[in-house]
Amino acid sequence: MNPVRGNVTVIDHPLIQHKLTIMRNKETSIAGFRRLLREIAHLMCYEVTRDLELEMITIETPMAQMQSPAIKGKKLVFASILRAGNGLLDGMLDLVPAARVAHIGLYRDHETLQPVEYYFKAPSNLEDRLIIVVDPMLATANSATAAIEKLKERGANNIRFLCLLAAPEGVARFTEAHPDVPVFTAAIDEKLNEKGYIIPGLGDAGDRMYGTK
């Protein structure tokens, strides 16, 4: 069983934890980091979508007609908080290739740590769709809370948030701002430092994915 605290689920599957340890290691290459993030996204996607409702549909196999289960309702939406969210997004789309995608461009002002929006593009009909917002790092939660506010303004009413690592401060801020949004993470680390980085964390996820500094 994955431990659940309030509406935060820590997905502590051994494969996820092992891969996360390699990602945290500063010696891991950019290619390795990217590949592992994608692999972890597969494993986490499996857990986050575990309770999706099914309906029986009629199909024809080469041998006979049958009733077979299929995911019920409108297509899922994955909302990636740019740019590091795209690392998780790629893995999620491997498993749910028909999902719709929203991109939310927010960067952190390094002085104020507040999110600055520079891009927002989402499917127009967000009502009654499951929207899974992805960003590897839930640090101050400023970007995540702002992204979810934007989605709610556009009608989203069924949202989950998926990250790789969270800071306790970010979890507290996020769950206070959006108590209706369940959070899924692979680990909750010790703390944030004065620059808003997660300690021990894994550094800047975007820089490690894209080889920037």
Which residues bind to ligand URA, rule: CB under 6 A?
84, 137, 139, 197-198, 201, 204-206
CB nearer ligand URA, residue 69 or residue 200: 200
CB nearer ligand URA, residue 93 or residue 138: 138
Helices of type H across the chain = 14-24, 30-48, 85-95, 142-153, 168-177, 205-210
Alpha carbon 67 to chain centroid, angstroms: 33
Q: Are strands 65-71 and 54-60 parallel, antiparallel or unpaired?
A: antiparallel
Q: Tell me whether residue 207 is one of the annotated catalytic residues.
A: yes
> Backbone phi, then psi, for 170, in 5-degree steps?
-70, -40
Residue with tokens 């997004």: 89
Closest separation in Å from C-beta 174 to ligand URA: 13
Closest separation in Å from C-beta 137 to ligand URA: 4
Closest separation in Å from C-beta 198 to ligand URA: 4
Tokens of 103: 């991109």
- The catalytic residue among 112, 128, 180, 212 is 112
CB nearer ligand URA, residue 130 or residue 166: 166
Residue with tokens 């494993």: 43
Q: Tell me whether residue 180 is one of the annotated catalytic residues.
A: no
Q: Residues with catalytic annotation? A: 108, 112, 204, 207
